[in-house]
């Protein structure tokens, strides 16, 4: 066989090898894209569930705050009535000292109860704010996953180092998804236990 034939044969083999390598890289990029889309769908579903739980919790908290506000107003009105009654008792009969002291103790107890109710209302408001902050962190993680879809398109034109970058990107996406799941788990557990979320 002439030397020129050997050259054409070697060139054809080299081109075939390059074509096979490109097909392998293209297939791998497609697999990575499918994995990322699947993880993105899972993250969106978990985020949706977290939002629904957050909305339900906030609605309950708002209803409780409204009820506490009504009770506080009623308690304030009762305090005003009792103060008027005590003033009338002082003006009418100074001899009823024991009754007056008893009413004063009731008034002090009612004021203490009102102060406790207001503190509970402040704690509930703080808890709702911490809950919203935790959901914002979860939304940030999901946004990071969405921004990382762009490098996959550039990976289709690379060779061997691209495969390494694809695997690194896949590990980073998996770590971010795990962080998202942990955040949602903490958020859900704290909501069920009635504890506040630690933002430190």
Average pLDDT value over all residues in the chain: 75
pLDDT of residue 187: 65
Given a cut of 50, is residue 157 above it in pLDDT? no
Among 153, 177, 176, CA closest to 165: 153
Least confident window among 40-49, 151-160, 173-182: 151-160
**Distance separating alpha carbons of residues 200 and 192, to the nearest angstrom:** 20
pLDDT of residue 189: 67
For 12-35, the pLDDT digits (tens) are 888 888 888 888 898 888 889 889
**Distance separating alpha carbons of residues 136 and 41, to the nearest angstrom:** 18
**Distance separating alpha carbons of residues 106 and 83, to the nearest angstrom:** 11
Q: Which two tokens stand for residue 170?
A: 């896949």
**Distance separating alpha carbons of residues 67 and 33, to the nearest angstrom:** 50
Given a cut of 70, is residue 172 above it in pLDDT? no
Kindly list the domain boundaries of the chain, sorted by start residue: 34-193
Query: Could you give the percent of the chain with pLDDT greater than 90?
Result: 4
pLDDT of residue 6: 47
| Cα 193 to Cα 90, 186, 188, distances in angstroms | 50, 10, 9
pLDDT of residue 101: 79
Q: How many other CB atoms sit within 10 Å of the CB of residue 131?
A: 20
The winner for highest mean pLDDT among 1-5, 97-101, 154-158 is 97-101
Given a cut of 70, is residue 123 above it in pLDDT? yes
For 58-97, the pLDDT digits (tens) are 899 889 888 988 988 998 899 888 888 888 877 776 666 6
pLDDT of residue 48: 92
Q: Look at 140 and 53; give whichever has higher pLDDT.
A: 53
- Identify the band that residue 133 occupies on the pLDDT scale cut at 50, 70 and 90: confident
Question: How much is the average pLDDT of 116-133?
Answer: 81
pLDDT of residue 188: 64
Given a cut of 60, is residue 9 above it in pLDDT? no
Given a cut of 70, is residue 144 above it in pLDDT? no
């Amino acid at each position: 066989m002439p030397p020129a034939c050997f050259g054409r044969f070697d060139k054809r083999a080299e081109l075939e090898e390059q074509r096979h390598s490109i097909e392998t890289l293209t297939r791998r990029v497609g697999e990575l894209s499918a994995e990322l889309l699947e993880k993105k769908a899972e993250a969106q579903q978990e985020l949706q569930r977290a939002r629904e739980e957050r909305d339900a919790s906030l609605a309950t908290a708002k209803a409780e705050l409204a009820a506490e506000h009504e009770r506080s107003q009623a308690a304030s009105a009762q305090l005003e009535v009792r103060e008027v009654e005590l003033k009338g008792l002082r003006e009418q009969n100074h001899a009823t000292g024991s009754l007056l002291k008893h009413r004063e103790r009731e008034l002090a107890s009612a004021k203490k109860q009102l102060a406790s109710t207001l503190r509970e209302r402040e704690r509930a408001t703080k808890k709702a704010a911490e809950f919203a902050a935790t959901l914002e962190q979860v939304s940030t993680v999901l946004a990071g996953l969405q921004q990382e879809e762009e490098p996959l398109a550039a990976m289709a034109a690379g060779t061997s180092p691209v495969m390494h970058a694809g695997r690194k990107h896949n590990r980073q996406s998996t770590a971010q998804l795990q962080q998202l799941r942990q955040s949602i788990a903490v958020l859900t557990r704290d909501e069920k236990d009635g504890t506040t979320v630690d933002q430190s």
